[in-house]
Structure formats: structure tokens, C-alpha cells
Amino acid sequence: MTSAIQVVDLRKTFGRTKALDGLDLEVDTGEIHGFLGPNGAGKSTTIRILLGLMRADSGAVSLLGGDPRRDVETLHRRLSYVPGDVALWPNLSGGEVIDLLGNLRGGLDERRRAELLERFALDPTKKSRTYSKGNRQKVALVAALSSDVELLILDEPTSGLDPLMEAVFREAVRDFRDGGGTVLLSSHILGEVESLCDRVSIIREGRNVESGTLSQLRHLARTTVGAGLERPVAETDLADLSGVVDLVITDHELHCTVETAHLGALLERLGRHGIRTLTSAPPTLEELFMEQYRTPEVAGPR
Amino acid sequence: MTGLSGTASLLRLAARRDRVLIPTSALALVVVVAGSAQATVALYPDESAALAPLRAVLANPALTALYGPITSESLDSFATFKTILTGAVFLCLLAYVVVRRHTRTEEEEGRLELLGAGAIGRRAPLAAAVLLGTAAVLGTALLTMVGAIAAGLDRTGSVALGVSWIVMGLTWVGVTAVAAQLTETARGTAGFALGALALAYLLRALGDVAADDSPLHLLTWLSPLGWGEKVAPYGANRFWLLAVGLVAYAALLVGAFVLQSRRDLGAGILPSRVGPARGRLHSSLALTLRLARGTLAGWFVAFVVLGAVVGSLAGNVQSFLDSPETADLLRKMGGSDGSIVDTFFATEIHVAAVAAAALGISLVTRLRTEETAGRAEAVLATAVPRRRWALEHLVVAMAGTAVLMACLGVVAGALDSGRTGDVAGSIGRLSGAALSTLPAVWVCIAVAAVLIGVAPRFTGVSWAVLIAFFTLGEFGDLLGLPSVVSGLSPFAHLPSLPGGETAVGASLVLLGVAALCAAVGLEGLRRRDLPFG
Ligand SMILES: Nc1ncnc2c1ncn2[C@@H]1O[C@H](COP(=O)(O)OP(=O)(O)OP(=O)(O)O)[C@@H](O)[C@H]1O
Ligand SMILES: [Mg+2]
């Protein structure tokens, strides 16, 4: 499988702020790749470097097989970008902006443009000045999705969309992927990430924390376990097991959380004490991300 | 329910927010009117000897169109000739700013919604804005009246001056109050209120310059600015026109409140304007031109008018020379080798060049505005290379200023041909002179480009640089600065054209500096992060 985006050991400082500190990112061709991380983690900075808008201090970047700073014109004909904070020219109508951005990219698909306007229920004759935040995002999305490109780079593109429009957005992005396109999607909306992304990369403070499919990530996260046992168990009985934390033992009852990878070992050990009841809750997506987002210092006892 | 509850607290709030704007504007107007009147009076200790030459300069259609007719053959009238109508226009602008700011702008930005939820009546915001605007107009007019009397001008005439300003200013309080009800945007309000002001100015100008026996004379009476003008301070002193102004003021306010009661909060009486569903912009250059369109059109009109005024004044300058003292004075101020008329042209053209440079800077600094607004990112993420995008803005700024200067020269030349009798010659001489200033104008634009490319946070400094260039270039010699210092200004190296020697060498050096700065700016912009900081 080929990579649409390949970033290795990317570094970027703004004055004294280390925005990127050795970031790696790999997006395969044909996938929807979620790009996640807490505020200020460096997502937008990475995207701007990918677009050649900013220059990295060091590191290697390859975009659609080219160099984002050298091959601007050819690369940008092959991708569309939707920024998080969509700013439009107040005097132009939405339709004018869509056509302008499409033309600057090398033309748009008329049929798709009409269809997207319809699906997003966007009135293209209104002046940009009068659009709400969600409608401004729709303008940028219609322009991006109706261009004939291979790669979509979306930086929090749906923060202003209502749930109905969010569904339209997901459908359109899936259609794009099914047509062979690649998507890099930065988002804070977990439902969106869960329903759309084939793989995700989580970054924090300019460094990778995790990347993989959601089920791989789930595997890394902790499962909550509660067990009622026939024979009492002591904390020392479990001391040699790795990945078990927050252990609370009251006589015949046990509660803990365990890294999902070590769940099997824990159950096996508890089996020796005779399991009478067992509850086990896999991590919710929220828990999963909270855990990854939290900086070690702030994480505190669980 | 009167819907007025809370007016007093809103008024206090609004007055607090405008506590700098209103007093400084009022003070500036008083100082300009009283100060310039006093200076004029001081220049002519012998009143009877002054009247004839002054009249020769002032009584011509171009100046009448700009400033209104002379109200009487008196020094007081001459001394306030240029300031009464222009001051009144500024007073109208103040009234408009105050009223718009506390009505439609607040509403558009959603702040009135917050207020509306409290114990504030529906009519209170408009009432508070109108009261504040009215107070600003009355205060300024009264202060100016007192200032004029203190400057030694005729008492009755000074009271009439105050009345004339009250008529015009209060009418614009009313006009803006109505305009704020019409559209849902503050920009729309600006369009109606300022459009009405421009129309009023134009109507009275047409009426004023019409021949005595022409019915066009009546146009002045259609204009609220005309009513104020017809008060004729230091002349006929028609105080009764105050009644006309007050009736208009009351009628407009009633209209505004009725319109307000017929619309929803946040909405306008008129349907909001829509644009085309399809776009016709195919390139970044088309976008740049589209963004510059409105500004360029406005400046174009201003430069045509300026050219017309300068061109038609030349004849008066000639006749002015019959008075030897003034000729001497002018020669001291200009210092050109050519005739006094040429000196006059050269001076006006250099001032116009500074104005053109201001336009150029405002056009090229759009690069930075687009960047900070986040719109540059959208364009540069498409197939538009950054260098081309920047170059196009630069070229539009430089070409725009060239077109303006050329049109100034052509219009001035065409009108001056009435004096010289040689159409082609006059146009050629004056457009050549106007275009000869371009190297200095372009240096200013290129300096702004350097800041945008290399020190984007300091883009605003380009305005300070322009002011410094202007001051050094125009007043450097007067201030007795060494030529090394005043020579820092590109304007100091311009040839004194028409009439003087052309300065090919200096112009080439300026062009070189402009090209170098532009290149440095473009390269800096190409290398740096975007958006920056
Ligand atoms: N132009 C800039 N100048 C200075 N600092 C910057 C600049 N752009 C980003 N930063 C800093 O770099 C860090 C990363 O910012 P970035 O915008 O990439 O975060 P993000 O992951 O997109 O966050 P969010 O989720 O809030 O959008 C932040 O600390 C930010 O303050
Ligand atoms: Mg961001």
C-alpha cells in the first residue's frame, strides 16, 4: 500500500513554543485518517506544513509523492483543504466563493456541486457576510468536495454543523473515500471519528502518542473489571500481574481496571479463586481519548 | 407602554463609550474654524485692501461647488468660506457615526439582544443613540459659535454659523436614524446615510454653480446641506431656516421610530441583498481586482474631482498674481523655477502623489489583511503560488496609483487648456508631471511590501513611514533640516514639474529602490510562515 502523506521526525518551534517535537504521521492512500489531539497539540501546524504554508525546522515531509514547498502548484491541484476557521470574502456570495476556490484549484465537477448544495441545503446567493459559522463551513466543504482531487485535508471541518448536516458530511466523505480518495481529518468530535476513520493518529505536545485502527487503540486502553469470588483474594496474589491498577479488594469482591491486552492474564489468575460473578466494561471512546489526551503530569491517580 | 424604559442608562453607557470621540471631534472642528478664521483676519490688517484680491481668488465656480457661495463682501465671510460647509459635513459624519454605532452596529453584533433581554424598552436604544447624536451636534455647534466670536468674528454671523451647523447636523441625526432601520447590516446603514450625504452635497453644488436665471438654482433647496448653506452666516443670516431643519429632524425621527416598530430585532425594513449563485472569478488576479474594485472606484472619482478643481483654479491663480504680496508669498512657499501657475500645479500634484501613495499602501497591505483574516490560507492552499499572489497585489497597487495620477493629470490639463488654449499641450504637460511622481509613490508601496514580507507584525508602520516621508519631503526645507535627512523621503527627489527640470537620474534611482524593496518583500514573504504570528 502506498502513502499519501508521510511525515518523519517533524519539528517546528514558534519562538519558545515547541509546536512539533519529532512528529511522525503516515496516511495510506485510500483511507480516512483521523488526526486527533488536545488543543494546541500541533494538528493545524502539521497541516499547514503539509500545505507548504509553513516551513518545518527539520524533518521529512512527503505529500502525494512530492515536496509540499517545492511542488506547490502541481500538488495543490490534487488536493482540497478546509480550514477550521473558515473565513470568506464578505462581499462575495457563497456561490461565487465556491466557484472561485474551484477555479483556483483547476475546475469543479458541476454535477457534484449542484448535488452538494442541495444536500447541504445551502443558499449560494447569500453574501458571505451574512452566513453563520456552519454555513461558512458548508461553503468551504462544497468547494472542497466538488473539486476533482485525490486528497482532502480537513481541519476540524464540522465544528459548526448541526447533526443533520454532520450526517450529510459523513456520507459525502465516505463517498469520496469509496471513489478512491484519501482523507486526513482533524477532529474533536469522537462520534465523527468513530464512524468515519479507518485509522487514527493521536498526538500530544507535538509528539505521537498512538496510531492505529480504533480496535487496536481500544486494545491499548483499560477495561474495567468487577468480580465476585468464591475464595478471598489478597493484593499480593495479583502483584506480579502487569497493567492492573485502581485495585479495590473487599473480602470476596474485587474491582480494578486493566489494560485490555492483559485482561486474559487477569481472568486466568482470578479463575483460581473461583469466579462467581463477573462484569467487564470495554473502554468507551471518551475514556480512550481522555486517557491519551491527558498529559502524564495532570493525569493523577485513577 | 412607551418602550423607552432604560433609555437613560443606555445613554450613559453610549456616552461613556464615545467620551473620546465626541469631545475630540468637537474640539477639532472648533479649532479649525476659529483658528483658520483668526489666521485669515490677522493676515489682512487692512480689511478694505484685502477684499478685492481675496474675492478674486475665492469667487469661482470650482470653489463654489466645493465650499458653497460667498455669503457677503466681508472679511468674516471670506475667513470662514472654506470651513463652514466642510466643517458641517464633518459634523454630519460625526452625527452619523454616533447614531449608527449605537443602533445598527450594536444590533448586528448581537449586543442589543443581550440588552433586549433585560429591562430595556424596545425604543430605548434608538432613543439613546438619537439623544447622544443630538447632544454631540448641539454641543459642537455651540462651541464653534463661541469659538468664532472669541476669534473676533461678527457676533450675529457667528450665531448664524451655529444655527447653520445645527440645521445640517440634526438632519443627519435623523437621516442616520432612518437609515439604520432600513437594512440588516451596519454597512447598509453606511450606504444609505453616506449616500444621502453625498447626494445632498452634490445637489447643493449643482444648485450653487447654476446660472442665476436657471431653474437649477432651486436644487440647493432640495438639499439639507443647502438649507444650512442658505442660512448664510456673516451674510444674510437667515435664522428662520432653523425651523426648516427642526421640522426635518422631527419628521425623520418620527419616521425612524415608526419603521422600527414595524420590523423585528436584527432585521431591516428592506429585504437583505443577495448575490449571484455562480461566480465569474477565474484567477487570483481576478480576485485581487475584485477586492480592490470598490476602493479604486472611490479614489478614481476623488482624483477626477481633484483634477478638475486644480485645473480650473489655475486661471484664478493667474489673476491672483495681480497682487504682488501674494505672488511673493507663493514664490517663497514653492521655490520653483517655473511660473507661479506651474508652482501651483507642482505643489498640488505632489500632494496628490502622497494621497496616491496612501491608496497604494492600503491596496498592498491587503496581503496582510487577507493573511490575518485567514482568507490567504484558503487561496494559497489552491494551485496559486504564493509569489504570484503577492506580485499580483503589488502590481495592482502600483498600476492603480499610476491610473489615478494619469487621470488627475489629464483632467487638470483638459480644464487648464481653457487658460492656455492648447488642449494637447496642457494635457501632455500635466499628465507628464503627474506621472513623474510615480517613482516616489512606488517606493512607498514597496516599503510596505518589505514590511509585509520581512516584519509582518509591523505592517502598520508603513503608514508612519508615509507620514514621515510626506513631512520630510514637503516641510523638510521649511523646517531647515539638513538635506541628508529630508533626502530620506522619496518625495524630496521629485522634479518640480511642470515647469522645472526633469530629473531622470533621480527617478531611475527611485525606481531602482522600489524594485529592490519589492524584490526583498516578495522573497521574504515567500520564505516565511503563513499565517505569521
Ligand atoms: N503562528 C504561530 N505563532 C506562534 N505560535 C503558534 C503559531 N501557530 C501555532 N502556534 C502554537 O503552536 C502550538 C500548536 O498549535 P496548533 O494550532 O497546531 O494546535 P492544534 O492541535 O491545531 O490545536 P486545536 O485543537 O486547538 O486546533 C500551540 O501552542 C500554538 O499556540
Ligand atoms: Mg487547530
Q: Chain B residues with CB inside 8 Å of A105's CB? A: 382-383
**Residue A181 Cβ contacting ligand 1 at under 6 Å:** no
Measured in angstroms, how far is the CA atom of residue B532 from the centroid of ligand 2? 15
| Closest residue of chain B to A90, computed from CA coordinates | B291
Low-confidence ranges of chain B (pLDDT < 50): 335-338
- Give residue B262's identity as a one-letter amino acid code: R
Measured in angstroms, how far is the CA atom of residue B257 from the centroid of ligand 2? 46
* CB-CB neighbours of A178 under 10 Å: 9
Alpha helices in B436-503 (DSSP H): 438-454, 461-475, 483-486
Q: Give the ligand 1 atom nearest the CA of A43.
A: 21
Q: Which of A53, A80, A130 is opposite residue B530, by nearest beta carbon?
A: A53
Looking at the complex, does the CB of residue A64 fall below 8 Å from at least one CB of chain B? no
Looking at the complex, does the CB of residue B384 fall below 8 Å from at least one CB of chain A? yes
By the 8 A CB rule, do B241 and B227 touch?
A: yes
User: What does the pLDDT read at residue B336?
Assistant: 46
Closest ligand to the CA of B529: 1
Residue B161, min C-alpha distance to chain A (Å):
41
Question: Residue B72 has which C-alpha cell?
Answer: 457677503
Mutate to test the pocket of ligand 1, among A10, A23, A43 (most ligand atoms within 8 A of CB): A43
Tell me which CATH homologous superfamily contains domain A3-217.
Answer: P-loop containing nucleotide triphosphate hydrolases (3.40.50.300)
What is the total residue count of chain B?
Answer: 533
Measured in angstroms, how far is the CA atom of residue B101 from the centroid of ligand 2? 34
Residue B93, min C-alpha distance to chain A (Å):
24
**Residue A45 Cβ contacting ligand 1 at under 6 Å:** yes
User: What does the pLDDT read at residue B280?
Assistant: 92
Q: Which of B284, B378, B385 is opposite residue A72, by nearest beta carbon?
A: B385
Domain boundaries, chain A: 3-217, 222-282
Cα radius of gyration (chain A): 23
Closest ligand to the CA of A18: 1
Measured between alpha carbons, how far is B275 from A281 in angstroms, rounded to an integer?
55
By the 8 A CB rule, do A46 and A25 touch?
A: yes
Closest ligand to the CA of A83: 2
Looking at the complex, does the CB of residue A98 fall below 8 Å from at least one CB of chain B? yes
Kindly give, in sequence order, each residue whose CB lies less than 8 Å from that of residue B396, ignoring residues fewer than 6 positions away.
B285, B288, B289, B292, B363
pLDDT 10s digits, B389-406: 999 999 999 999 999 999
DSSP 8-state symbol, A5? E
Closest CA to A92 of A60, A134, A136: A136
Q: Give the ligand 1 atom nearest the CA of A38.
A: 25
Kindly give, in sequence order, each residue whose CB lies less than 8 Å from that of residue A280, ignoring residues fewer than 6 positions away.
A223, A224, A225, A226, A263
Interface A-B: count of C-beta contacts within 8 A: 118
A32-36 and A58-63 beta bridge pairing: unpaired
Q: Chain A residues with CB inside 8 Å of B287's CB? A: 89, 100
Q: Chain A residues with CB inside 8 Å of B379's CB? A: 101, 104
Task: Verify whether the Cβ–Cβ distance A54 to B287 is below 8 Å.
Answer: no
Measured between alpha carbons, how far is B7 from B11 in angstroms, rounded to an integer?
6
HEC readout, A86-109:
CCCCCCCEHHHHHHHHHHHHCCEC
Mutate to test the pocket of ligand 1, among A7, A10, A13, A14 (most ligand atoms within 8 A of CB): A14
pLDDT, averaged in runs of 10, over chain A (302 residues)? 91 94 96 94 96 95 95 95 92 95 94 96 92 93 95 94 94 96 94 92 92 84 87 86 86 87 89 90 79 61 40
- CATH number for the domain running over A222-282: 3.30.70.100
pLDDT 10s digits, A213-227: 988 887 777 888 999
Measured in angstroms, how far is the CA atom of residue A137 from the centroid of ligand 2? 15
| Closest residue of chain A to B185, computed from CA coordinates | A130
Looking at the complex, does the CB of residue A11 fall below 8 Å from at least one CB of chain B? no
Task: Verify whether the Cβ–Cβ distance B531 to A106 is below 8 Å.
Answer: no
pLDDT 10s digits, A136-160: 999 999 999 999 999 999 999 998 8
| Closest residue of chain A to B285, computed from CA coordinates | A104
Q: Which of B187, B282, B284, B382 to mutate to test the interface with A (most CBs of A within 10 A)?
A: B382
Looking at the complex, does the CB of residue B280 fall below 8 Å from at least one CB of chain A? yes
Q: Which of B291, B378, B527 is opposite residue A101, by nearest beta carbon?
A: B378
Closest CA to B507 of B491, B520, B523, B518: B491
Q: Chain B residues with CB inside 8 Å of A93's CB? A: 274-277, 279
**Residues 12-41 of chain A whose Cβ lies under 8 A from any Cβ of chain B:** 14
By the 8 A CB rule, do B70 and B82 touch?
A: no
Q: Supply the residue whose CA is at minimum distance from atom 18 of ligand 1.
A: A42
